[in-house]
Amino acid sequence: MTTKIIGRTKECTALKNCYESDKAELIAVYGRRRIGKTFLVKNFFRDKIDFYVTGIYEGTKQEQLTFFNKQLQEYSGIPYPMAPGWLDAFDQLKHHIKSLKKNRTVVFIDELPWLDTPRSGFLKAFDLFWNSWGADQPGLKLIICGSATTWMLSHIIGAKGGLHNRVTYRMKLAPFNLAETEEFLKTKGIVWNRYQIAETYMTLGGTPFYLQMLEKGLSPAQNTDRLFFSENAMLRDEYSFLFRSLFNDSAIYRSTVELLSRKARGMTRSEMMSSLKLPEGGNFSQVLENLCQCDFIRKYYAFGKKERDAIYQLSDLYTLFYLRFVRNTTAADGHLWSNMIDSPERRTWSGYSFEQLCLHHIPQIKAGLGISGIQSSVSSWYTAPADGHKGGQINLIIDRRDQTVNLCEMKFSSGPFEITKKYLDQMQERRELFRAATKTRKALHLTMVTTYGLKPNAWSGMIQNEIVLDDLFAADPK
């Protein structure tokens, strides 16, 4: 596996600033599992790490302490006795750090939530270690990582007790965008065209661990068959493990995600609670917030609506693909995906998945439109059939401060997209429905986001703006 850090420019700058600062730093790195947190920290600091330990998934208190002791002996060369509890273990760590006599000391505790086993006293000992000593050591740089985002947010970043406001820098690691994915694949010797990269991104998302599994000698479809449908498919069982490792009560999280997978437009909180038969007064709002923080779902608003009208939509591309094609597949067809290349089901999926890919790249779309510096908001709009019209839906609306609104249509096709008179009439009808329903006086620009642009004809000139796949591969605008 490559040790080159792809992308993560802002994160590397932040780590550099923290390392060079003249005060103690408690850096909390969080984000969903497989996103590259450990890789980033280890490869940024490399030989600067003076102590590293990771929590053991579902390990007992004794197993965690045993591994902590083993790591402490390895990094210090001192035969520290086995600590009976975490207070003593952190005292030993303090002794090790003092003995180094360095201007800067880097301590990396990975998968911190897994160390906090029931009734272990870990969190109290960690709190005492930092507040009674660590925070007063200007050269100490303590990086803590956790895939269990809910735990990190409630016990560390949003802690109410002794660790309240103690984190000096919080870093949420997000999936790769298309540009970073392309760069990552090149380091693996995979040179695909951007259509193929986009199609793979629509299957796996921008999760580095999944992208690392791709083989350069295979086509994107062959890789998908190997990872999901072959006899020993490596990503077939990933879904259930992913939720178990991230959330203590994984059932409600899975139920929520699976409900949203059946509702392409998304649902409001109250609609979901009704469908899941959940009582009022529970912690469902926290469930939704946690899923947003882990990049499984996105929260957005219909045009002109307020906070209470928020809509939640499943946005994680791996999960969308898994629930649509993998979960209920029983046939032993190791080439299922390759054989579905022209199927209606696959075409429907690719259209919806491309829309989600576009929504992951809003900064690139704005840059392509030349409006990065103009204040704008992103929303959607839907109206049910009524009064003789068929209703309408616009999945991406960019409402700009310069009195312009981009009404975006997103289409995934293997060649230039052809605007027919019928399709143009539908777009114009939706535009006028939107104008009447919202009573906006702003200019409404019909905007197409496609893979290869529009095929020139008598009707393509009625489209005010075009964004193509190459635009989505631009780096995040600064």
What is the torsional sign of CA 132, 136, 141, 143?
A: positive
Cα–Cα distance for residue pair 466/201, rounded to 1 Å: 22
Whole-number pLDDT of residue 265: 87
The class that CATH gives domain 9-172 is alpha beta
Q: In sequence order, what are the residues at sequence separation of 6 or more whose Cβ sits closer than 8 angstroms to the Cβ of residue 252?
A: 276, 284, 287
Within 101-140, where are the H helices?
112-115, 122-132
Structure tokens at 279: 């009582």
Hey, what amino acid is at 62?
Answer: Q
Whole-number pLDDT of residue 150: 80
For tokens 């906090």, the residue is 116
Task: Please give the CATH topology (third level) of the domain spanning 367-472.
Answer: Trna Endonuclease; Chain: A, domain 1 (3.40.1350)
Structure tokens at 115: 């160390």
Domain boundaries, the chain: 9-172, 176-360, 367-472
Counting other chains too, the contacts that 43-46 makes at CB distance below 8 Å and 24 or more residues apart are: 43/3, 43/4, 43/5, 44/5, 44/12, 44/15, 45/15, 45/19, 45/106, 45/108, 45/143
For tokens 């992103």, the residue is 378
The alpha carbon of 465 is separated from its chain's Cα centroid by a whole number of angstroms, namely: 29
Query: What letter does residue 323 receive in the DSSP assignment?
Result: I
| Architecture of the domain delimited by 176-360 | Orthogonal Bundle (1.10)
Render each residue's pLDDT in the chain as its tens digit; 478 residues.
Answer: 457 899 999 999 999 999 999 999 999 999 888 899 999 999 999 999 999 999 999 999 999 999 999 999 999 999 999 999 999 999 999 999 999 989 999 999 999 999 999 999 999 999 999 999 999 999 999 999 998 878 888 889 887 777 878 999 999 999 999 999 999 999 999 999 999 999 999 999 999 999 999 999 999 999 999 999 998 899 988 998 888 878 877 899 999 999 999 998 899 999 999 999 998 877 899 899 989 988 899 998 888 776 667 899 999 999 999 999 999 886 567 888 999 988 999 999 999 999 999 999 999 999 999 999 999 999 999 888 877 777 888 999 999 999 999 999 999 999 999 999 999 999 999 999 999 999 999 999 999 999 999 999 999 999 999 999 999 999 876 5
Whole-number pLDDT of residue 68: 98
Backbone angles phi, psi at 36, to 5 degrees: 105, 25
CA atoms within 13 A on the CB side of 328: 4
Query: What letter does residue 379 receive in the DSSP assignment?
Result: E
Give pTM, 2 decimals. 0.91
Strand pairing partners for 171? 29
Strands (E), 78-211: 105-110, 140-146, 169-172
Strand pairing partners for 377? 399
Cα–Cα distance for residue pair 292/289, rounded to 1 Å: 5
* Strand, helix or coil for residue 116: coil
**Counting runs of H as helices and runs of E as strands, what totals does the chain give?**
21, 13
| Cα 9–Cα 14–Cα 17 angle in degrees, nearest 5 | 125
In which element (H, E) is residue 406 found? Answer: strand 404-411
3-state helix, strand and coil shares in percent for the chain, rounded to the nearest 5:
45, 15, 35
Q: In sequence order, what are the residues at sequence separation of 6 or more whose Cβ sits closer than 8 angstroms to the Cβ of residue 74?
A: none
